[in-house]
């Protein structure tokens, strides 16, 4: 349920009374609005997903992967050691446009003691599924290649200490820091060049290691592009809606999953719902929805202090009663207890043709409700799916500015 708080609207600015307007003028005005809707456009929406959010869904799928035993060929040091190799994690990271970076973490363990850290960096291309739209990011064992062991001073010193402890007591007395450091370097190279190629198959397997499915907003997607910032994956959506959005703000790192809709796109969503009979499009003079109402309405958006617009037309040539008006307003929105609360203010009636339509404010409540409620529902269908289980997201916050409607999701 969406609850609305509509502030009192005052008539600001002049009213243009089209005394000489005819029904032909009104029909031309309606046709001009339709042409405006059909202008070419670019990105309609951006879904921004922090890598950490996607990492969490991937990590759940790796918990049960068993370690693989590894026998180290260290006979020259008088050692016969059996360790275990594990895939510790898969994390997403920035990559060139169209791809997602993947960083896999691999560890070599002596019991519960981690003695070697290594990483495998690669890139994968997400799959866009058009039916039940979703972006699917899958990581397979075959996507991962050679490992790069960590050679930081701390990790190298840890490995050297471990080697020293494993040496026979007599050899340990002669094991200087330089000698154990050299042995640690040799073991790191051995792990990368001989051990990992031998155990890669058993550790990673041949099937999908982990996969996450991101359910996309319920809009007619014509084109999807993928790019990333430092900590966030961005999906730019171009739709088949007849909208003419301005450029969205530059993509940025986001702490939460965020959906930004261009204002004209949000308006076009409502108009599409009207055309399909999902949202009322005809109203009585009192602003009540009615299939045979005398007034037709459509929603528009023009960037500015009062970006939201309701376009109204009455065309009754037989009775010679034809008129039109545009009602503009500013909009603030917030979420309270999972409900969307909207505050319409600074209302203005303008561009009047025919009789003065002072009753035009009656349309505000219904149409603003339809606009934001529909956008709210679009944002709410975003979801994650991992291991066949869907994780539904809820709208945490909403904000409206001159050019966009922005939803933050939990």
d(CA 335, CA 405): 13
Range among 76-90, 215-229, 271-285, 374-388 with highest mean pLDDT value? 215-229
Q: Virtual CA dihedral for 292, 294, 300, 302, nearest 10 degrees? A: -170
Percent of the chain at pLDDT > 70 equals 82
pLDDT of residue 260: 92
**What mean pLDDT is predicted for residues 78-92?**
84
| Calculated CA dihedral for residues 351, 37, 134, 87, nearest 10 degrees | -80
In our burial notation (b when 16+ CB lie closer than 10 A, e otherwise), range 346-381 reads ebbbbbbbbeebeebbbbbebbbbbbbbbbbebbbe
Distance from C-alpha of 359 to C-alpha of 361, rounded to nearest angstrom: 5
Query: What is the predicted pLDDT for the residue at 347?
Result: 66
CA distance 292 to 278: 15
- pLDDT band per the 50, 70, 90 thresholds, residue 146: very high
Confidence of residue 136 (pLDDT cuts 50, 70, 90): very high
pLDDT of residue 229: 96
Residue 85 has pLDDT above 70, yes or no: yes
Instruction: Please state, rounded to an integer, the average pLDDT across all residues of the chain.
Output: 80
At residue 64 the predicted structure's pLDDT band, cuts being 50, 70 and 90, is low
Q: Is the pLDDT of residue 11 over 50?
A: no
In this prediction the pTM is 0.83
Whether the per-residue pLDDT at 94 is higher than 70: the answer is yes
List the structure tokens of 82: 């059996």
Burial class from Cβ neighbours inside 10 Å (0-12, 13-18, 19+) for residue 62 reads middle
pLDDT in tens, 153-168: 999 999 989 888 887 7
Mean pLDDT in residue range 348-357: 66
Q: What pLDDT was estimated at residue 356?
A: 54
pLDDT of residue 5: 30
pLDDT at 149 > cutoff 90: yes
**Given pLDDT bands bounded at 50, 70 and 90, which one contains residue 103?**
very high
What are 206-257's pLDDT values in tens digits?
788 888 888 888 788 888 999 999 999 999 998 888 777 777 888 999 999 9
Dump pLDDT digits (tens) for 13-43: 333 334 345 788 888 888 888 776 655 567 8
């Amino acid at each position: 349920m969406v609850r609305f708080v509509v502030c009192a609207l005052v008539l600001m600015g002049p009213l243009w009374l089209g005394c000489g307007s005819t029904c032909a003028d009104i029909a031309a005005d309606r046709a001009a609005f339709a042409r405006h809707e059909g202008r070419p456009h670019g990105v309609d929406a951006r879904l921004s997903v922090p890598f950490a959010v996607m990492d969490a869904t991937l990590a759940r799928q790796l918990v049960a992967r068993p370690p693989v035993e590894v026998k180290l060929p260290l006979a020259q040091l008088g050692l016969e050691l059996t360790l275990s190799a594990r895939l510790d994690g898969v994390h997403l990271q920035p990559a060139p446009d169209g791809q997602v970076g993947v960083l896999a973490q691999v560890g070599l363990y002596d019991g519960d003691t981690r003695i070697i850290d290594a990483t495998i960096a690669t890139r994968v291309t997400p799959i866009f599924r058009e039916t039940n739209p979703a972006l699917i990011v899958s990581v397979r064992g075959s996507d991962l290649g050679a490992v790069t062991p960590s050679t930081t001073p701390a990790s190298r010193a840890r490995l050297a200490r471990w080697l020293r402890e494993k040496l026979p007591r007599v050899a340990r007395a002669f094991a200087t820091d330089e000698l154990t450091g050299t042995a640690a370097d040799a073991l790191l190279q051995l792990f990368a060049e001989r051990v990992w190629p031998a155990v890669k198959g058993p550790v990673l397997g041949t099937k999908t290691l982990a996969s996450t499915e991101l359910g996309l907003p319920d809009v007619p997607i014509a084109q999807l592009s993928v790019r990333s910032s430092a900590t966030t994956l961005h999906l730019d959506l171009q739709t088949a809606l007849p909208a003419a959005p301005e450029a969205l703000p530059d993509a940025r790192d986001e702490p939460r999953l965020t959906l930004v809709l261009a204002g004209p796109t949000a308006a076009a969503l409502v108009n599409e719902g009207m055309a399909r009979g999902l949202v009322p499009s005809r109203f009585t003079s009192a602003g009540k929805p009615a299939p045979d109402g005398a007034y037709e309405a459509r929603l528009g958006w023009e960037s500015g202090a009062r970006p939201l617009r309701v376009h109204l037309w009455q065309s009754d040539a037989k009775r010679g009663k034809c008129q039109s008006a545009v009602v503009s307003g500013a909009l603030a929105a917030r979420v309270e207890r999972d409900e969307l609360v909207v505050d319409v203010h600074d209302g203005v009636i303008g561009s009047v043709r025919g009789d003065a339509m002072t009753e035009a404010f009656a349309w505000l409540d219904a149409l603003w409700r339809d606009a934001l409620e529909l956008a709210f529902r679009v944002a709410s269908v975003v979801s994650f799916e991992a291991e066949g289980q869907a994780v539904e997201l809820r709208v945490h916050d909403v904000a409206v500015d001159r050019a966009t409607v922005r939803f933050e999701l939990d």
